[in-house]
Structure 1
Amino acid sequence: MSVTRQLDDTHSEVKISVDGRFDFSLHKLFRDAYRDLSPASMRFIVDLGAATYLDSSALGMLLLLREHAGGDRAQVRIVNAKGDVLRVLKIANFDRLFAFD
């Protein structure tokens, strides 16, 4: 289980990747991946391609990221979600709150 962050050269986009189980044990790592970034002109990408599990605390963490990024004006995109992870996101109607790829 890990969370990694990649910031682009222009500091306008950050990619946060989750590997393994996305649950409460990753709360601090996930928050630390974005909390020092100014949301004003930042685009956030959450890559769940390597996530094998997602629970309600992970949904909450995604909502906190969205709030940090500007709420309804937020530029947060979830990419590479598949299988059970994608199913949970859709059941929770996160496709209405986040852009998906």
Structure 2
Amino acid sequence: MAVTSSNSGSELNIKITGKFDFSCHQDFRATYEDLTDKPQRFVIDLSETTYLDSSALGMLLLLRDYAGGDSAKVVIENCNPEIKKILSISNFEQLFSIS
């Protein structure tokens, strides 16, 4: 998992590499909960994610709640077709911007 933030701190980019499952839970939460200032926008890069399970879906929902719920700006990008299908079946396109 790689984390970068914009110079102004207004955007946080989280890149998930390999499996995105329960084993990532603590590390994933620490990427955003341990920040001094809350970013206005969160970008989850799944370009190198090979697997995503229901616990990862739950972690994305927790991030969305942390970021502000319905007013949150959370983008999920660079999904492979299999992961995009899982997100679509789960109706995540109604909760997140997915590209």
Instruction: Tell me, yes or no, whether TM beats 0.5.
Output: yes
Aligned pairs (5 A) from 1:1-101: 3-37=1-35, 38-39=37-38, 42-101=40-99
Cα deviation, residue 54, structure 1: 0.4
Unaligned runs of 5+ in 1: none
Unaligned runs of 5+ in 2: none
**Structure 2 length-normalised TM:** 0.94
**Structure 1 length-normalised TM:** 0.92
Cα deviation, residue 42, structure 1: 1.6
C-alpha separation in 2, matches of 1:19 and 1:85 = 13
C-alpha separation in 2, matches of 1:78 and 1:89 = 10
Cα deviation, residue 36, structure 1: 2.4
Q: Report percent identity of matched pairs.
A: 48
Structure that is richer in helix per residue: 2
Task: Spell out structure 1 runs of 4+ moving beyond 4 A.
Answer: none
C-alpha separation in 2, matches of 1:65 and 1:54 = 16
Give the total of aligned pairs: 98
C-alpha separation in 2, matches of 1:22 and 1:45 = 15
1:22-74 per-position Cα deviation (integer Å, ceiling 9, x unaligned)? 000000111011112343x5200000010001000000000000000000000
